[in-house]
Chains A and B, each alone.
Chain A
C-alpha cells in the first residue's frame, strides 16, 4: 500500500464529499428556482468527484474499503477535509463566498493533477476541472452581483468574506502528505489570489488582511460544526447498513 497516495487522495475526496454534503442540504432553500437547480447540480458534481476519489483511495489502500465505507463508516476525526468546506451555510452570501474560495482552489489544483503522473488521479481531475470551471463562474457572478448590489447584500457579503477568509489559509498549508504525493497546493496561493482578489475588487468588497489562520482539518481536528454534518450524512447508512437505491 502506498500510504502517502492514500492520504493524499483521501484529502481530495473528503473535501469534495463535505462540500457536496453542505451544498446538497441547501436544495429547496435557494432564493429562486434556477438557483435551486444550480446548487443541486453543483452538489451532484462534487458528489461525483467524491465518489471517484474515495473509490480510488480505497483501491490504493487495498483493505477492501469502498466509497461507502469511507464516507459512512469513518468517524469525525478520520476525515481530513479542510475546515473551509465544513463551515455552515448561515446565509446565501456565505454559500457563495465559500464556493468562490473553494472552486478557485479546486480549479487550480485539479488542473495541476490532470497533468500529473498518477493516471487515475489525472483522469478524475481532467473530468472534474471542467465542472469546477462552471462552479467558479457561478460563484463569481453572484459575488459581483451581491457585493456590488444593495447596502444589505453588500454588508452580508462582506461579513461572509471576513468570516471565511481565515479558513482559506489552510488550503495552502504544506505538510508531509501534500509534499509526499501528487502536487503540493502550497504553491497555488499566489495564483488563487490572482483569481479571488480581482473578483472581490469588482464586487467592491474588501479583501481581508491575512491574520488568524486556523488549521487542523487535514489532521482530523475539525470545527464544532463538523460532528453534526457527519452525523446527518451517516445516519441513514448507520440505521440501514448497506442500503442502496
Chain B
C-alpha cells in the first residue's frame, strides 16, 4: 500500500463526533488525501460553516494520521465546492436510519433551484416503523444539521438530517 493509501485508510476510520455512526468519509467531507508531496495533507470541507464539530474532526483526523505514522500531517479546510447532503453514500443513509435518524432526501441530478425559504419541508418517514404520517416538531434540532420530528403512528420522536 502506498503512503497516500495508508493515510486515506487511517483517515477513513475517524467518526463524526455528533453522528457517531458515520465516518468522515461516509459523510463526504474528506476532499483529498495526499501523502506524496513534501508534507502529508488531508483536505476537508465543513458541513455547515459554523459547525462546532469541525474543530474536533480536524484534530481527530490529525491524531489518526499521527497514529498511522504521519506525524507532520496538515489538515486543510476548503469551502468550495460547498458540501451538500447529496454526497452522503447509500451506505451512510442506511446507517443513519439504523441510528434512528431519517436521512435527507436526495435531490435530482443537475442544477437545483435554491428555494427562497423552507416553508414546509417534505415529511420524512419514521426511521423506526417506516410510517409516512409524521409531523415536524422543530426545524432546529440538537445539532445544526438535524431537525426534530414526531411519528404519528408509533408515537416516537425522531431526528432528520436536513437537506443541505
Contacts and interface: CB of A to CB of B under 8 A. Distances in A.
Interface of A: 34, 37-38, 40-42, 44-49, 51-52, 107, 111, 119-120, 122-124, 126-131, 133-134, 136-138, 140-141, 195, 245
Contact of A133 (B46, B55, B117, B141): B117
Contacts of B118: 133-134, 137
B51 interface: yes
A38 B140 contact: yes
A48 B80 contact: no
A195 B116 contact: yes
16 contacts: A38-B139, A41-B140, A45-B49, A45-B50, A47-B50, A48-B50, A51-B50, A122-B80, A124-B79, A126-B82, A127-B82, A128-B49, A130-B82, A130-B164, A133-B118, A134-B140
Interface string B24-50: 000000000000000000000010111
B144 A41 contact: yes
A169 B141 CA distance: 34
> Which of B118, B141, B164 is the most central at the interface, judged by chain A CB atoms within 10 Å of its CB?
B118
Contacts of A45: 48-50, 144
Contacts of A137: 117-119, 139
B51 to A, nearest CB: 7
Interface in B129-164: 137-142, 144, 148, 162, 164
Given A127-B48, A136-B116, 20 more contacts: A37-B142, A38-B138, A41-B140, A44-B52, A44-B144, A48-B51, A107-B116, A123-B82, A124-B79, A126-B81, A127-B46, A127-B79, A129-B114, A130-B82, A130-B164, A133-B118, A134-B117, A134-B118, A137-B117, A245-B55
Nearest to B143: A41
Contacts of B142: 37
B49 A138 contact: no
B20 to A, nearest CB: 20
A152 B83 CA distance: 43
